[in-house]
Chains A and B, each alone.
Chain A
């Protein structure tokens, strides 16, 4: 059982909704990311999504685009991110998902990547632009090495595709709660609850909901019907704001802690 599945099992037993945090690896540099990961673990993050920086992040809004550019400018590479995970894994058991575009993996070699990811202690991978139809080899390797393949569902995903995606996703289903790119929003999209119920008809996997969630109020709302809440851009924006601040780690940690607070009593 992967750390991801174990964590969702623990959450279910405790009657709590999980909190998934996304940060871009290497922003502002890999050493800082290492420290932020440990801090987010201390704050109670249940699953950590580590974004692999890419030159052309076409599903991301400006906040994560800029974070990717900062990371690449600071020299982050896929190999560098994997090595950082190896280091951090010596200090924490937090479940780690790599969140990546396909080209860097394609370039690295799918099998080589999966093997290395398993070696360093990655638990799952979310490949943003690799739908199951194109991902046969990737899915086979991930299953072989015992890593979770996390796939997205979105407001445009129809029933036939829900069924297909449900059959390939492992660990959890990531429901993208709105059309569009990543980024903070003032309000949540309509119909999230009904879509989450629809997904439940096709899978027993936990359902994490993300995209546009940026305040403790949003977190409380989503927690009513999702198994986990995902926050990305709101955290990444703060990493950017504090990039030259010696207290970056504790300030980002405090913000994430405030997002998790509504979930601590069990929702």
Chain B
């Protein structure tokens, strides 16, 4: 089924009943200014020309669409293509929206950059573009994530960013977002908040999506050139949902292309220790948007679990919620153990170590492949590379055996 998503969100930032601006009053004017600056930039061909230039010369776009021949043979089903966002500068798709947002920050005359980070990939991407433009940068990160992503903490500091550990709540991504928002409401004059996913209050889900859309635009052209037809299925992991919306968006009008988002199943849904918002979450309001949220009966935000820090978040972006209601996209989950098997499988068969986040998408392809024919085509978003996860994976894999 096709969905006309070109005019979403509406003027107040709603995707159907989702999204919006549920924020303290101090932020309303800031969001209004951000939206005005973005709408002006969006109409300005110079802005996109500049962004394209940086994406090409600095980020290394377009990223390849790679036919994973040995993985295809191994699974014995459809042809599997990997969209290689892991080959983008800094090793993940996060650089796409970090670059777009910092150009916006420059247009607005902001001199200080802040961001939250979970796995550290968005923090690294933000620290990178801040270094490149010579702007001050502070990254908020839960102390639990700092421990499991120590390499990325070092990278951010090397890039000149201040990394501030967040000790409150679950000490992961949601708490880092709380702290970044607290910084933003305090430093309203000079600070630009580079948001790390298609989450948060309007206009962030729209802005981040527009900057990530390049993934699907490229992949669509690449698969048409390579195969002369569109893929049957797209698969991507979903934390907040930036890499998946980035891949999906350019295909929304292609009614025969099926889209599957893969959430973090953690220790399994029954265990209660997971981050599968569409499998156990309910409608709620978190970090400025009305979205699916894992919460308790009293409306307190639940703690989540995933082996992958980048998927370990209690809410999922509003546009995903909407596309799911429209039955345009579908969502499933992969457990920690399935993701780690896929992590090993892709490393062995293709010589590509995926991020643990992306390994969730590969894990689902492993389940999907036996039900599909050899003539069919699957495109998987390989959203990031796994160097950052090697220590964490080694500990876990040893633990299992």
Contact = CB atoms under 8 A, between A and B. Distances in A.
Interface of A: 54-59, 61, 65, 69, 72, 77-79, 102-108, 128-131, 133-134, 151-158, 161, 165, 176, 179-181
A58 B29 CA distance: 17
A130 B28 CA distance: 11
A179 B183 CA distance: 10
Contact of B25 (A102, A103, A107, A152): A152
Nearest to A53: B300
A154 B25 contact: yes
28 contacts: A56-B286, A58-B24, A58-B181, A59-B26, A59-B185, A69-B168, A102-B22, A103-B285, A104-B300, A106-B283, A107-B299, A129-B22, A130-B22, A131-B21, A131-B23, A131-B25, A134-B20, A151-B25, A153-B25, A154-B26, A156-B188, A176-B25, A176-B26, A179-B26, A179-B186, A179-B188, A180-B185, A181-B182
Contacts of B288: 129
A150 to B, nearest CB: 12
A131 B181 contact: no
Contacts of B188: 155-156, 179
Contacts of B29: 156-158, 161
Contacts of B12: 133
A103 B182 contact: no
Contacts of A105: 299
A58 B287 contact: yes
Contacts of B298: 77-79, 104, 107
A59 B24 contact: yes
A55 B23 CA distance: 16
A152 B174 contact: no
Given A129-B22, A129-B23, A180-B26, 5 more contacts: A56-B174, A58-B182, A79-B298, A128-B24, A156-B188
B60 interface: no
Contacts of B290: 106
Interface of B: 12, 20-30, 168-169, 174-175, 177-178, 181-182, 185-188, 282-288, 290, 293, 295, 297-301
A198 B177 CA distance: 33
B169 A102 contact: no
Contacts of A153: 25
B14 to A, nearest CB: 9
A214 to B, nearest CB: 17
Contact of B24 (A78, A129, A161): A129
B21 A107 contact: no
Closest 5 CB pairs of A and B: A107-B299, A104-B299, A180-B186, A156-B29, A55-B300
Nearest to B282: A107
A211 B283 CA distance: 31
A165 B28 CA distance: 12
B218 to A, nearest CB: 36
Given A129-B288, A180-B185, A103 B30 contact: no
A181 B286 contact: no
A202 B20 CA distance: 26
B200 to A, nearest CB: 11
Contacts of A77: 298
A162 to B, nearest CB: 10
Contacts of A57: 178
